[in-house]
Amino acid sequence: KAGVTQTPRYLIKTRGQQVTLSCSPISGHRSVSWYQQTPGQGLQFLFEYFSETQRNKGNFPGRFSGRQFSNSRSEMNVSTLELGDSALYLCASSLVGGGGEQFFGPGTRLTVL
């Protein structure tokens, strides 16, 4: 079974630009969660989508948004990029979400210059 895939793996953007990251979950998994990982703040939950609906949202500004498609693939968008948005963005898929096991993709390394 293919694992969680994330594209692109690396991105370099400049302040003020916007970016879209993509995540394809494990086949059959309906829950996709997004996390931001930085050296200073560690791992922080961004949001979770389940069957195309946002089910949970972390404490991030509205510049961070996401969506999920009918095939469970998910995208995350960050608008008006700031230097502090430089991070590893991790996507995790789960069969049902909740307290279940989450399987992570390799992440997208975003650098904002």
Residues that bind another protein (CB under 8 A): 33, 35, 42-45, 48, 55-56, 58, 88, 90, 92, 97-107, 109
- Taking the C-alpha atoms of residue 77 and residue 107, their distance in angstroms, rounded to an integer, is 14
Q: Least separation, in Å, of the C-beta of 39 and another protein?
A: 10
Q: What are phi and psi of 85, to 5 degrees?
A: -85, -5
Q: Least separation, in Å, of the C-beta of 79 and another protein?
A: 23
Torsion sign across C-alpha atoms 80, 85, 88, 91: negative
Q: Least separation, in Å, of the C-beta of 6 and another protein?
A: 10
Question: Please, which residue, 20 or 103, has the CB nearer to another protein?
Answer: 103
Question: Please, which residue, 24 or 33, has the CB nearer to another protein?
Answer: 33
Question: Please, which residue, 48 or 85, has the CB nearer to another protein?
Answer: 48
C-alpha separations of 59 from 38, 45, 79 in Å: 15, 8, 16
DSSP code, position 98? T
